[in-house]
Chain A
Amino acid sequence: MTATPSSSVRNPTDWKGAAMQKRIAGRYAAERRFKLLGMAAVLLSAGFLAFLLISMIGNGARGFTRTEITLPIDFRTAPMVVDPATVTAQSLVSANLQDVTAQAAVTALGPNGDTLLSPNAWLTVRDAILDNPQIVTERVVISVPASTSIDLAAKTDASAADEASYARLQQSGMVSTGFNSAFLSASDATDPTQVGIWGAFKGSLLTMIVTLLLSFPVGVATALYLEEYAPKTWWTDIIEVSINNLAAVPSIIFGLLGLAIFLNLLAFPRSAALVGGMTLALMTMPVIVIAGRNAIKAVPPSIRDAALGIGASPVQVVFHHVLPLALPGILTGTIIGMARALGETAPLLMIGMRAFIATPPGGITDPATVLPVQIFLWSDEVSKGFVEKTSAAIIVLLAFLLAMNGLAIYLRNKFEKRW
């Protein structure tokens, strides 16, 4: 209030007065500041997301490419004896291909030539021979992966020595950088030029299948029971409390449960997709139950009454009418729960899915690893070449999560009915 005279007469507030106008201007300025603050908070949060995605894509795009050196190998003078008629993977093990490759590199690229190749370059040579055994009698040119330092020199900045050797290679026209199909088809390896995500991806796939097969039926059945049949007793309350509680338990606790019960007590195989899937199923089930209950609750009672009225039994009401109508909502919740399980790492570390797995798992009891754990393992590697591979694997994982969430949103918009 402006200064009021001390008389008994109360003057009306002078809204047009300078003091009052100044106050109002101050209040409006505060309003604008507050609004800007809110906008800044939203932009900052979104900006962080954009920063994260851009830095991952910036690093990861390079992970999908690989530098290769076209290496001429003269098998006629090579220190090896292989009969093209009887070539098998077994017989090539003893054929000393490492030395053959190294020698060819020294001949073609100079005294330090073998260090310019990936340590596993001879595997490419072996595969080429297995493809066409006839080449062991002639001189051929094979594209082999370059070493990590050359690879980095080709893509980004590297040490002066590496840049110099890369420049020399480029002058001789023997080096090229192209799409790395091995990244999508190979498995884990010790050398970053050889790694791929297929093994981890297959492990993720097997784990997710186990998770879905276990958590979806159990989750839907629990939701149906609690929403449609359960009597209001202390027993039902306990079930409800434990489900809400399980939904809030930190994921690593489920890992401890899996370790103590599935591995130590029941002696299931370690590192297997089966145990990983079971652990994640326990974690995903509450999500499906909660989503399922909401979807079932949204089905109007008139549908149930109508079905009961024409003589359906309670089970028929639920399985013929309520469940089909609630299914889109349940599926949406399931996909979101599965997306969460797909990105989960910590519980799987507990049950030993962090082993070095160089061959893709053949079944759910084989040792396996999953995509997020593979990312974690690569992020721990010292070699600089793993940085771009880790980011590339993250791009693949994020693409899958985005697709799953997109599918969930699509399903919700397309099939969900508002009653």
Chain B
Amino acid sequence: MTGPAVLLLLFGLGVAAWVSARARATRLQTAARNTGARGAMHSLPSFHGWYVALWTLLPALAFLAIWTNVMPALVTDAVLADPAAQGLPGDGFARGAILSEARNIANGTQAAAFNPAAQPLVAPYRVNTARYAGGGVALALLLAFAGGAYAFTRIRPDFRARTRVERLVMGLLLGASLIAIITTVGIVASLLWESLRFFSMVNPFSFLFGTNWSPQSAAMGYGNENAFGAVPLFWGTIFIGAIIAMIVAIPLGLMSAIYLTQYARPSTRKWMKPVLEVLAGVPTVVYGYFAALTIAPALRDFAVAIGISGASSESALAAGLVMGVMIIPFVSSMADDSIAAVPQAMRDGSLAMGATTSETIKRVLIPAALPGVVGGVLLAVSRAIGETMIVVMAAGLAANLTLNPFSSVTTVTTQIVQLLTGDQEFDSAKTLAAFALGLVLFIVTLLLNIVALRVVKKYREAYE
């Protein structure tokens, strides 16, 4: 029997259990009502139905889940015990190859054996797989019936089915909320583990403070020690994400927020705000393509025209400009929030003293909202340095330590993508370097977020 069919059968049993248990509980309820004992039934009939259905399904499903993981090992053991397997080589690797080939033929994923030793094992594989799979299904069905029958016998007027079912629901809710923690732990653990392996090959100081980044040469056997200096990557990331992008995003985002909240008519605001937010919804791969196809060549031609040397068609400026545009809505909405949080009395006071609107904004609102704006900018920076596709497509791969915005620089995220695509060997420093870079990126964005949220929160408290 195939997997979906078994599942379908089990769920059918579950539905049958639900219906029959509910019917029995309903009969009990009617009986209790007829004898006049009001509220004699503790739980509603549907809760009894759920209780029995869950007892039917959960043990059987849990058993199947375990069984599908254990079964391949059991089948292999049985095949090895078969007389046909006596001639197999003792070497574990060669034996494993023959066994997996026989298994593939038995499953039908492979048509014929390359290794003649695999052919006689196909029949034992088929027989044993069928035997164990059949046995597993039979046991699961038995468990389903046993669980259902046990739960069914417990249906009584005073049985607290609702409490039991609700306890399970609460457990599920709690379990779901633990997934967030498991994910966080998984991220930290996997990054730390692979990074530690990397740092056992490369000195952390030469990674964090070295200025020469050439993982290709390390892969070719020139030694790891001086090939993984990540400073050019850190500089490229800061140059694009924290400097160029912010030079674009802060003035445009801040002035847009000021105009839309202080000057624009409500109807204009109603239309323009979603339009600006579309900028944040455009996929980053589209921005990257736009930067590489349209912006970068234009900038290179411009640089050549005004005589700047070292102009590249993959420039830091192109990536930074486009990233800045992408960040505008973030800066704008954070600025919007913090300006709105400044008490109206301060604004009214300034206007009443005869200040113009722009003077009020510049001298009163912005200084008062500054912590919130700074927090928003920090969040935007943390987003910009973690951004991948724009820099992968527009910023280039050359690890230059340069101040020239028209030349090519590379970033942490670009190099992660570069190191992990293509051939992967999970014991080479080249591949593991990507995880060390990921760890640095994770820590920096985390710190930026914590600082930013703290700044914003402190400032909110000041006005409450």
Question: Known contacts A27-B356, A55-B294, A56-B290; is A238 also within 8 Å of B190 by CB?
Answer: no
Tell me whether A46 and B276 are in contact (CB under 8 A): yes
Question: Is B169 engaged at the interface, CB distance under 8 Å to the other chain?
Answer: yes
Tell me whether A379 and B421 are in contact (CB under 8 A): no
**Contact residues of B between 145 and 181, Cβ < 8 Å to A:** 162, 166, 169-170, 172-181
Tell me whether A249 and B442 are in contact (CB under 8 A): yes
Question: Is B323 engaged at the interface, CB distance under 8 Å to the other chain?
Answer: no
The answer for the CA separation of A102 and B176 in the assembled complex, in Å, is 61
Beta-carbon contacts of B169-207 to A below 8 Å, as 1s and 0s? 110111111111101101100110110000000000000
The answer for the CA separation of A253 and B442 in the assembled complex, in Å, is 7
Tell me whether A31 and B449 are in contact (CB under 8 A): no
Beta-carbon contacts of A337-359 to B below 8 Å, as 1s and 0s? 00110111110011000100000
Tell me whether A372 and B285 are in contact (CB under 8 A): yes
The answer for the CA separation of A56 and B290 in the assembled complex, in Å, is 8
Contacts of A264 in B (CB 8 A): 426
B263 partner, pick from A38, A48, A55, A394, beta carbons under 8 A: A38
Tell me whether B413 and A30 are in contact (CB under 8 A): no
The answer for the CA separation of A263 and B254 in the assembled complex, in Å, is 43
A223–chain B nearest beta-carbon distance, Å = 9
B259 partner, pick from A42, A48, A390, beta carbons under 8 A: A42
Tell me whether B260 and A394 are in contact (CB under 8 A): no
Main secondary structure on chain A at its contact with chain B? helix
Number of CB contacts from chain A to chain B under 8 A: 238
Question: Is A261 engaged at the interface, CB distance under 8 Å to the other chain?
Answer: yes
**B99-107, B228-236, B310-318, B387-395 - interface stretch:** B387-395
Question: Is A313 engaged at the interface, CB distance under 8 Å to the other chain?
Answer: yes
Question: Is A398 engaged at the interface, CB distance under 8 Å to the other chain?
Answer: yes
Question: Is B9 engaged at the interface, CB distance under 8 Å to the other chain?
Answer: no
Tell me whether B386 and A253 are in contact (CB under 8 A): yes
A249 partner, pick from B262, B379, B387, B445, beta carbons under 8 A: B445
**Contact residues of B between 295 and 346, Cβ < 8 Å to A:** 325, 328
Tell me whether A38 and B259 are in contact (CB under 8 A): yes
Beta-carbon contacts of A313-348 to B below 8 Å, as 1s and 0s? 111000100000000000000000001101111100
Main secondary structure on chain B at its contact with chain A? helix
The answer for the CA separation of A238 and B179 in the assembled complex, in Å, is 12
A259–chain B nearest beta-carbon distance, Å = 7
Contacts of B252 in A (CB 8 A): 41, 44-45
- Which of the listed residues B174, B179, B416 has the most CB atoms from chain A within 10 Å of its own CB? B179
Question: Is A170 engaged at the interface, CB distance under 8 Å to the other chain?
Answer: no
Question: Is B127 engaged at the interface, CB distance under 8 Å to the other chain?
Answer: no
**Contact residues of A between 190 and 248, Cβ < 8 Å to B:** 217-218, 221-222, 224-226, 229-230, 238-239, 242-246, 248
Question: Is A123 engaged at the interface, CB distance under 8 Å to the other chain?
Answer: no
- Which of the listed residues A55, A222, A252 has the most CB atoms from chain B within 10 Å of its own CB? A252
Contacts of B441 in A (CB 8 A): 250, 252-253
Tell me whether A345 and B174 are in contact (CB under 8 A): no
Q: Look across to chain B and name the residue whose beta carbon is closest to the beta carbon of A265.
A: B190
Beta-carbon contacts of A243-278 to B below 8 Å, as 1s and 0s? 111101111111011011100100000000000000
- The 5 A-B residue pairs with the shortest CB-CB distance, nearest first, are A250-B386, A38-B259, A343-B283, A221-B176, A41-B255
> A-side interface residues toward B, CB under 8 Å?
27-28, 30-31, 34-35, 37-42, 44-46, 48-49, 52, 55-56, 59, 217-218, 221-222, 224-226, 229-230, 238-239, 242-246, 248-254, 256-257, 259-261, 264, 282, 285-286, 289, 313-315, 319, 339-340, 342-346, 349-350, 354, 372-373, 375-376, 379, 387, 390-391, 394, 397-398, 401, 405, 409
